[in-house]
């Protein structure tokens, strides 16, 4: 199972976009585990780490060499996460998108 994780199950398109903007603004919230998933672990590297973002559903895969250096890194991102080349807003722009929601949440406790 490499099709991103289920963090986005049952969310509306707008809620998904809010999650994507949050990760773009502040970084992903990773949990990590060793994996032997054959879709991820192609046996080139000694160990494979799978990172799952609990906010946006992205997956990061790191292949570690015999010295535990990252020999390969790749990302599997959910549909709608990526932008066309040259069209990705800046981190500051993503923060600007997220701040109104954070203000509302701060007011509402
Ligand atoms: Zn994320």
In tens, the pLDDT along 11-51 reads: 999 999 999 999 999 999 999 999 988 777 777 889 999 99
Tell how far the Cα of 79 is from the centroid of ligand 1, in angstroms.
Answer: 13
Average pLDDT over the chain, rounded to whole? Answer: 92
User: Per the structure, how many domains does the chain have?
Assistant: 1
**Domain of 55, in residue numbers:** 6-78+85-108
Determine, yes or no, domain membership for 11: yes
Beta 47-53 vs 59-64: how paired, if at all? antiparallel
pTM of the predicted model as reported, rounded to 2 decimal places: 0.87
Determine, yes or no, domain membership for 1: no
Report d(CA 104, CA 100) in Å as an integer.
6
Look at the chain and count its residues: 109
Neighbours of ion ligand 1 (CB under 5 A): 23, 28, 53, 55-56, 58
Determine, yes or no, domain membership for 42: yes
Tell how far the Cα of 21 is from the centroid of ligand 1, in angstroms.
Answer: 9
Report d(CA 4, CA 34) in Å as an integer.
16
Determine, yes or no, domain membership for 52: yes
């Amino acid at each position: 199972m490499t099709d991103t994780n289920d963090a986005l199950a049952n969310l509306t398109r707008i809620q998904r976009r809010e999650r994507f903007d949050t990760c773009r603004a502040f970084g992903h919230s990773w949990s990590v585990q060793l994996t032997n998933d054959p879709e991820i672990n192609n046996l080139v590297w000694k160990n494979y780490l799978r990172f799952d973002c609990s906010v946006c559903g992205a997956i990061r895969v790191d292949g570690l060499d015999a010295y535990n250096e990252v020999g390969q890194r790749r990302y599997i991102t959910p549909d709608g996460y990526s932008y066309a080349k040259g069209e990705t807003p800046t981190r500051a722009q993503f923060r600007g998108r997220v701040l109104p929601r954070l203000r509302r949440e701060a007011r509402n406790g």
